[in-house]
Structure 1
Amino acid sequence: MTPFAEVIGDPIAQSKSPAIHRFWLEKLGLPCDYRALEVQGDGLAGYFATRRDEPGWRGCNVTMPHKQQVAPYLDTVSRPASRVGAVNTVYRQGSRLIGENTDGEGFLEPLRPFLDRPHLYRIVRLLGTGGAARAIAAALTEHGFTLVVAGRTEASARALLDAVAPHGAHHACALAHFAEPTNFDFDDREGLFDLVVNATPLGMVGQSPLAFDFSHAPPGSIVYDIVTAPVETLFVRRARESGFATIDGLSMLIGQAAAAFRLFYGVEAPRIHDEELRGMLAR
């Protein structure tokens, strides 16, 4: 049987994971496959029972709406996945099924050159409170960031902080706080690292645009949008036009996929082809 991994979710047709993993498998000449399978919530138990005994199965990525539902069917869940309460990758370790969350690793990847520098203070304005936002919040607190989390309500933002970052001088507010202009006079940002991150689905194809006024972004901020469709969101375009450095959602998508690829196939993804891969995914 050809070794394979797959992505499961409901729906699943929108997933870019098969295109990414098959691209890398082809570049490496590995005789493996990567598939997509629609699995409904009431089918998760049967899915893992079947796959557990399937010799060629290397694991799966887990997308919405199952990231918070798969843990009971696994033998172990990693600390990062436990902390954020979501599993996006399942892989085999001997006879055991391990749940991992690679979102934080993927999110941090394009920020590594900045994180390697010393800063007096690091702060992120994190928009969103879903599973991806939780993984991002957990990853950034590991790197000394103070979090300003904005949710649809202040209560939802506070719930994220209570779950992921209960200690520290973090702040919660509603998304509406950032929608209107501010005349706040930011102090000297020398030695500071400022991030603004959209971890909501707002701005995605079929969704309303994200209402964010860039007067809330300190000078020198990096603006990061994890939305992948479209690759250039209105949020990213407006940030760039306002003079901010930007990172698009393909950076996180490819980074988290590379971490999963390593777990599935035991080799590193051939990242020298990233530009070709990005071009393919952007079409």
Structure 2
Amino acid sequence: MKQPSYLACVFGNPIAQSKSPIIHGLFAKQFNIDLEYQKILAGADDFDAAADTFFSNAATIGANVTMPFKHDALAWVDDLSVQAKRAGAVNTIIRTPTGFIGDNSDGVGLVNDLVSHNVVLQGAHVLLIGAGGAAKGALPALIDAGIAHVYLYNRSAVKAKQLADHVNAYSEAMVSIYETSNQTFDVVINATSLSLDNALPDLPDTIFSNKPAVYDMVYQGQQEMHNTAFLKHAKQLGCDIVIDGLGMLVEQAAYSFYLWFDKRPNSQEVLHYLRESG
């Protein structure tokens, strides 16, 4: 069997549900690039061994990293991009002649998707729910997009404070902890996985009182953009702009593809395909 010109993969656990092979396959087709993209299920404590094995093939150009390995990848790579340092998490690994660089395309993917839906970020007050890898990836890009301030909420107040302190070291106190139901927001982003369990964050409905644009990084089904529990709830409370995470998935993949091949794919074409294919 002919060896492909390039190999890439996504590491995760679980990983069977990943659409990354479809997305990157469509990107590669746009440029006639011979790319084989795999899904790799790594054991909970086996990321380093899985990465060592995968990158032992000289054709391997890079990898994506999803839950729960974004911190493992941070420690595995040889060097970090500015985005990865600020995020404190790695979701993209790039092979270079001198070693492996860790980057983070989550925030770029989120911001690009928000912008494609005409959500105004310049001067916005944002509520970000969650303090895990997804939230860490999102924060630097939101700050770079010109938001006025981010309010952070997490069930673990300690984790929220740690993340706020980490990001503020790079961003002049642009992040603080959500503390009162009297605050209003222009954009509300759910960076937790609660919607996968049909659950809602433990927050008052007043977070929607300003009719903010509402974003859920989870997607369930592909043809509608408001079918997670969080988005349905926001819609019922009068929010008109409700967006699921499928576009972010495509946009962050597009940025990873650019980091590997120095080519910018047509992400909207691929997103349209995914929506239509259900």
Instruction: Establish whether TM, by shorter chain, passes 0.5.
Output: yes
1:136 aligns with 2:132: no
**3-state SS of paired residue (1:5):** strand
One-letter amino acid matched to 1:65: P
**CA-to-aligned-CA distance 1:197-247 (integer Å, 9 cap, x gap):** 11111111x353345544322435211111123552122123234133122
**3-state SS of paired residue (1:55):** coil
- Cα distance 1:220–1:33, how it changes in 2: closer, same or farther (>3 A)? same
Following TM superposition, by how much is the alpha carbon of 1:77 offset from its aligned partner in structure 2, in angstroms?
1.0
Percent identity reads: 30
> For the Cα contact (< 8 Å) 2:214–2:239, is it kept in 1?
no
Following TM superposition, by how much is the alpha carbon of 1:61 offset from its aligned partner in structure 2, in angstroms?
0.5
Unaligned runs of 5+ in 1: 187-192
> For the Cα contact (< 8 Å) 1:154–1:173, is it kept in 2?
no
1:172 aligns with 2:177: yes
How far apart in 2 are the matches of 1:157 and 1:115? 28
- Residue aligning to 1:223: 214
- Residue aligning to 1:253: 249
| 1:73-88 correspondence runs (5 A) | 73-88=76-91
- Residue aligning to 1:239: 234
| 1:1-283 correspondence runs (5 A) | 1-2=3-4, 3-112=6-115, 121-142=123-144, 143-166=146-169, 167-168=172-173, 170-173=175-178, 184=182, 194-204=186-196, 206-230=197-221, 232-241=227-236, 242-273=238-269, 274-280=271-277, 283=278
Q: TM-score normalised to the size of structure 1?
A: 0.82
RMSD of aligned alpha carbons = 2.7
> For the Cα contact (< 8 Å) 1:90–1:98, is it kept in 2?
yes
One-letter amino acid matched to 1:223: V
> For the Cα contact (< 8 Å) 1:5–1:35, is it kept in 2?
yes
> For the Cα contact (< 8 Å) 1:5–1:60, is it kept in 2?
yes
One-letter amino acid matched to 1:279: E
Following TM superposition, by how much is the alpha carbon of 1:163 offset from its aligned partner in structure 2, in angstroms?
1.5
**CA-to-aligned-CA distance 1:100-157 (integer Å, 9 cap, x gap):** 10001001002336899795x4211111111111121222223243111111033332
- Residue aligning to 1:189: none
How far apart in 2 are the matches of 1:126 and 1:269? 28
How far apart in 2 are the matches of 1:60 and 1:101? 11
How far apart in 1 are the matches of 2:183 and 2:62? 50
**3-state SS of paired residue (1:92):** strand
How far apart in 2 are the matches of 1:89 and 1:278? 24
**3-state SS of paired residue (2:62):** strand
Unaligned runs of 5+ in 2: none
**3-state SS of paired residue (1:168):** coil
One-letter amino acid matched to 2:177: A
> For the Cα contact (< 8 Å) 1:138–1:165, is it kept in 2?
no
**CA-to-aligned-CA distance 1:235-276 (integer Å, 9 cap, x gap):** 212323413312211121111011111223332223352312
One-letter amino acid matched to 1:271: S
> For the Cα contact (< 8 Å) 2:94–2:259, is it kept in 1?
yes
> For the Cα contact (< 8 Å) 1:5–1:264, is it kept in 2?
no
One-letter amino acid matched to 1:160: L
Aligned residues: 266
**3-state SS of paired residue (1:156):** helix
> For the Cα contact (< 8 Å) 2:9–2:37, is it kept in 1?
yes
Q: TM-score normalised to the size of structure 2?
A: 0.84
**3-state SS of paired residue (1:228):** coil
- Cα distance 1:230–1:159, how it changes in 2: closer, same or farther (>3 A)? farther
> For the Cα contact (< 8 Å) 1:153–1:173, is it kept in 2?
no
